[in-house]
Amino acid sequence: MSYVFSPPAPVAVPVAGGGQFPVHRVYCVGRNYAEHAVEMGHTGREPPFFFLKPADTVLPVAEGELGAMPYPTLTQNLHHEVELVVALGAGGRDVSPEQAQQLIWGYAVGLDMTRRDLQNDMKKQGRPWCIGKGFEHSAPIGPIQPRTRTGDITRGAITLDVNGERRQTGDIADLIWNVAETIAALSRAWTLAPGDLIYTGTPAGVGAVVPGDVLHATIDGVGSLRLRIDPAQR
């Protein structure tokens, strides 16, 4: 193949215990915990909805490491959203929730970092969320834990601390649309493929971070993710 320039290296996330998980697409679920939906001004009973981040927005943080995310451009209100990330090892279309469980390769702790001021501007104007959601380094993720080790993750505490203070807390059991239902719904709209990551939504307590802050996210049975917000680059 004679490419006109060198293609970028594939985006990959370290797997706990060794190996790399190659990323295909990054799907995200909006308002998937009732309390967060309410804090964002909704009833919490809407059907699931989705947005995507480009694969190269993924910011892998290896086991035991402190990741670093440069403060992004254009925003005065960078928000944290701690989320369970589901990593697919197989694809499909129109899968049932029962079949969906078999597509899961593993799980990780992730952060759906959001330029909330830009997202809110876009919402008001009925415009796409891309500028608020799909920017560089906006998808930090810890190591992927193989499902063969963790079993199916259907409950367990999910937390986020900023500088040692608890900001977000919830339980995976409180997802409005559980992981299997989410995968099934996604598979009706897109053709799912091995390497897809799904950020499954955030519990209540989202808020702003600034350069120098250290975030510590945990999910019972999955692991943790530590991330420092660095000053803006450029």
Question: Which positions lie near Mn ion, rule CB under 5 A?
Answer: 81, 112, 202
**CB of residue 144 vs Mn ion: minimum separation in angstroms?**
18
**CB of residue 83 vs Mn ion: minimum separation in angstroms?**
6
**CB of residue 111 vs Mn ion: minimum separation in angstroms?**
9
Nearer to Mn ion, 47 or 151 (CB): 47
Nearer to Mn ion, 81 or 196 (CB): 81
Are the beta carbons of 36 and 169 closer than 8 angstroms?
no
**CB of residue 164 vs Mn ion: minimum separation in angstroms?**
23
Tally of CB atoms within 10 A around 190: 14
Nearer to Mn ion, 15 or 78 (CB): 78
Nearer to Mn ion, 112 or 196 (CB): 112
**CB of residue 228 vs Mn ion: minimum separation in angstroms?**
20
Nearer to Mn ion, 40 or 90 (CB): 40
